[in-house]
Amino acid sequence: MTESSKPPRRWRRFAIEVAVFLAIFVAVRAWQRRGVVEGAAPPLVATDLTGTRAALATDGPTLVHFWATWCGVCEAMDGNVAAVATDRNVITVAVRSGDAAAIVASMAEEGLAPEGRPVFPVVADPNGALAAQWGVSAFPTSFVVDEDGAIRSVEVGYTTELGLRARLALAD
């Protein structure tokens, strides 16, 4: 190979940097998802903060969103979940966030509980038992469960409204 036919060093260095970045990105995502349930979704039948029965839907996919009132990333994502909940099946689980009154008060501060009613279904998980059943160890964690009860998607961390909607559409 002649000197003029070799790729410039800067392109080689760039390719190596991109490969290292991708390897780190994949490793971090794998670490975040460690222990998360895959395949069949664990049972989720509970009563939400308004006293309504909350269960996985059988008429389309359900977004099951685990969050906490003390989680800043969760707070940044709340509007995305609220927007999706206007026309899709959504169940959220507030983990280790206190009792119903504390959760509603926190949501009211964010404008997500007008007149004391949350804008999306919220199940309280004060001791983290539901989160443990689903293998959730980081917040927020969002699952898309299809109408047959199979987990189709898992995301740990911030997800846009468009990202949530796309995952739900792929599970339709």
DSSP the chain: --GGGSPPHHHHHHHHHHHHHHHHHHHHHHHHTTT---SBPPP-EEE-TTS-EEE--SSS-EEEEEE-TT-HHHHHHHHHHHHHHTTSEEEEEEES--SHHHHHHHHHHTT-SGGG--SS-EEEETTSHHHHHHT--SSSEEEEE-TTSBEEEEEES---HHHHHHHHHHH-
Q: What is the reported pLDDT for 31?
A: 65
pLDDT tens for each residue of 77-101: 999 999 999 999 999 999 999 999 9
pTM: 0.83
Q: What is the reported pLDDT for 37?
A: 81
Residue 15 has pLDDT above 90, yes or no: no
